[in-house]
């Protein structure tokens, strides 16, 4: 098996999705240190290495990142084990060199390839599938590996669809049980109740929904109005579970958006192969959050010509460096490639110039116009939990809660928003242009746009790291 440069590596979020639990991923991340590994190597199908563990003998680990399988000589009953997860993290970071697979690794990979060929041949000889088999969303083959054989790809895709549909059916039943027993049921307060469902959704390849379930589990009992928040989120989950089972019957763009929201994996290479939206993009704001042990950075962009919003996401393991190429207050002329459907999410393609000198800011609207814009976006994607807007408003206190206010209305700010103090100082009690991130808990100030500079005040993954204004 000849080595090949792997151009479509996994993302950290995909490793988290296959981990049996957050604790297991944390254990794997702790082992993702190159000095603890020897004979590291990777090619277009597998990545392998030898890890010095607690035993006398090192553990030989190999992961098939093409067909998503793993093997390790450790005695762990949890699969994938922490060594397999650590090996994937090292590979994602680019710390595993390209190499020719050793004989044992090549034999294991070849046996898996032969089994896949046999399945493909059986599928090719089988009768055509019945009409009730779900079709995949448009422009999304649902695979995290190259499509080298049409028959094998079709078989894997159909199996992927059925697994995802089964996970959505189970999710809907679980939600029915929660409503029937009530949120006062003691089991709701136990994290294991939610984590078990999240693990089953991960097995069904519905990683996005699994992450929503785990985030929701962290809300239970943490604030006085948690019942209202959980009930609203249950409604959104029910919507996605129902819509996800009806993807073949939905219009193309809506079907794509539902499938991606439910967890359908879309390769970055497929997104970048689409037609780009090329124009100047104002980098309006940045927001970092921590989900399990993954740092997520959202950079909000607004098109100068189109006025459309987009969000570019980057991921990193806890305390690893996040992408900082997009600087708040600049307006690079660049290609932006949007994900399938009506999603705001996009990938940054070719940057034609860095935006030049000066400070760029998106146009600021009134509170009423911003609410209308946010409402229109929610009508398109009711499951969206974060949106952006830029308003010209004054921070004020109403009923012990900070709000952004003008003569047309007000927007409540999220409690404990880290940029509130800077916003108050910069506004000096006068209207100021500010980009905010709307969430179900209130708006979070991200950027204060002043005539001569942009103040990046959004939440950071590491609060000790501060960027000078």
The predicted structure's pLDDT at residue 265: 74
Rg of the chain (C-alpha set): 24
Residue 126 corresponds to which tokens in the numbers above?
């089988």
455 exposure class (CB count in 10 Å sphere: 0-12, 13-18, 19+): buried
77-80: long-range pairs with CB below 8 Å, 24+: 78/20, 78/24, 79/20, 80/18, 80/19, 80/20
pTM flag (> 0.75): no
In this prediction, residue 129 carries a pLDDT of 41
Give pLDDT tens digits for 201-254.
Answer: 888 888 888 888 988 888 888 878 888 889 999 999 999 999 888 887 888 788
The whole-number pLDDT of residue 158 equals 62
**Cα of 29 vs its chain's centroid, Å:** 18
**pLDDT (0 to 100) of residue 353:** 85
Contacts of the segment 225-234: beta carbons below 8 A, 24+ positions apart:
227/183, 229/440, 229/441, 230/183, 230/188, 231/183, 232/440, 233/440, 234/175, 234/178, 234/179
| Total residue length of the chain | 469
Cα separation, 256 vs 288, in Å, equals 26
DSSP for 155-220, written as a single string: HHHHHHHHHHHHHHHHHHHHHHHHHHH-TTSGGGG-HHHHHHHHHHHHHTT-HHHHHHHHHHHTTT
pLDDT value at residue 47? 93
- Contact between residue 205 and residue 263 where contact means Cβ atoms under 8 Å apart: yes
Match 């919507």 to its residue by tokens: 239
pLDDT the model gives residue 262: 82
Q: What is the per-residue burial (b if ≥16 Cβ within 10 Å, else e) of 74-95?
A: bebeeebbbbbbbbbbbbbeee
Beta carbons within 8 Å of 33's beta carbon, 6+ residues apart: none
CB-count burial class (<10 Å; 0-12, 13-18, 19+) for 302? buried
Token pair of 281, please? 């993009």
Residues of the chain with pLDDT under 70: 1-8, 53-56, 115-159, 292-293, 318-319, 342, 356-357, 462-469
| Whole-angstrom distance, CA of residue 233 vs CA of residue 329 | 34
> Distance between CA 341 and CA 422 in Å, rounded?
37
CA 83 – CA 31 distance, rounded (Å): 7
Contact between 12 and 317 under an 8 Å Cβ cutoff? The reply is yes
d(CA 268, CA 45) in angstroms, rounded, equals: 18
d(C-alpha 243, C-alpha 256), whole Å: 11
Q: What is the pLDDT of residue 446?
A: 96
Count CB atoms within 10 A of the CB of residue 155. Answer: 19
Model pLDDT, residue 6: 45
Instruction: Find out whether 109 and 4 touch, Cβ atoms under 8 Å.
Output: no
Question: CA dihedral in degrees (151, 160, 110, 271; nearest 10)?
Answer: 80
- Please tell me the number of Cα atoms within 13 Å of 271 on its side-chain side: 24
Task: Name residue 468's beta-bridge partners.
Answer: none
What span, in angstroms and rounded, lies between the C-alpha atoms of 396 and 410? 9
Nearest one of 77, 82, 89, 80 to 32, comparing CA atoms: 89
């Amino acid at each position: 098996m000849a080595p090949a440069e792997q151009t479509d590596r996994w993302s950290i979020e995909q490793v988290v999705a296959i981990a049996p639990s957050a604790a297991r991923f944390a254990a794997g991340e702790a082992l993702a240190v190159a000095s603890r590994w020897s004979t590291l190597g990777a090619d277009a199908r597998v990545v392998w290495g030898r890890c010095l563990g607690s035993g006398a003998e090192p553990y030989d680990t190999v992961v098939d990142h093409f067909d998503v399988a793993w093997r390790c000589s450790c005695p762990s009953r949890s699969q994938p084990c922490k060594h397999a997860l650590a090996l994937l993290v090292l590979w994602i970071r680019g710390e595993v060199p390209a190499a020719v697979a050793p004989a044992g690794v090549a034999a294991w990979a070849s046996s898996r390839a032969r089994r896949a060929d046999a399945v493909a041949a059986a599928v090719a000889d089988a009768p055509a599938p019945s009409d009730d088999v779900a079709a995949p969303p448009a422009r999304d083959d649902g695979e995290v590996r190259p499509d080298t054989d049409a028959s094998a790809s079709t078989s894997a895709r159909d199996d992927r669809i059925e697994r995802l549909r089964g996970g959505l059916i189970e999710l809907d039943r679980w939600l029915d049980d929660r409503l029937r027993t009530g949120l006062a049921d003691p089991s709701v307060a136990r994290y294991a109740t939610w984590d078990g469902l999240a693990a089953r959704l991960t097995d069904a390849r519905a990683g996005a929904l699994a992450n929503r379930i785990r985030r929701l589990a962290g809300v239970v009992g943490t604030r006085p109005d948690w019942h209202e928040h959980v009930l609203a989120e249950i409604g959104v989950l029910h919507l996605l579970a129902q819509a996800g089972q009806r993807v073949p019957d939905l219009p193309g763009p809506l079907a794509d958006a539902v499938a991606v929201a439910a967890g359908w994996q879309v390769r970055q290479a497929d997104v970048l192969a689409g037609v780009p939206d090329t124009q100047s993009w104002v980098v309006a704001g940045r927001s970092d959050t921590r989900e399990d042990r993954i740092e997520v950075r959202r950079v909000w962009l607004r098109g100068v010509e189109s006025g459309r919003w987009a969000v570019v996401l980057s991921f990193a393991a806890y305390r690893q460096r996040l992408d900082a190429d997009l600087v708040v207050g600049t307006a690079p002329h660049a290609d932006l490639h949007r994900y399938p459907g009506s999603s705001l999410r996009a990938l940054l393609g070719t940057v034609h110039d860095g935006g030049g000198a000066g400070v760029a800011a998106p146009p600021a609207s009134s509170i009423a116009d911003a609410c209308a814009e946010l409402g229109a976006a929610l009508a398109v994607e009711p499951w969206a939990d974060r949106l952006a807007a830029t308003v010209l408003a004054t921070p004020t206190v109403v009923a012990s809660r900070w709000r952004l206010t003008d003569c047309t209305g007000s927007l409540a700010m999220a409690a404990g928003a880290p940029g509130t103090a800077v916003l108050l100082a910069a506004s000096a009690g006068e209207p100021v242009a500010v980009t905010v991130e709307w969430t179900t808990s209130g708006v979070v100030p991200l950027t204060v746009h002043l005539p001569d500079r942009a103040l990046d005040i959004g939440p950071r993954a590491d609060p000790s790291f501060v960027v000078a204004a």
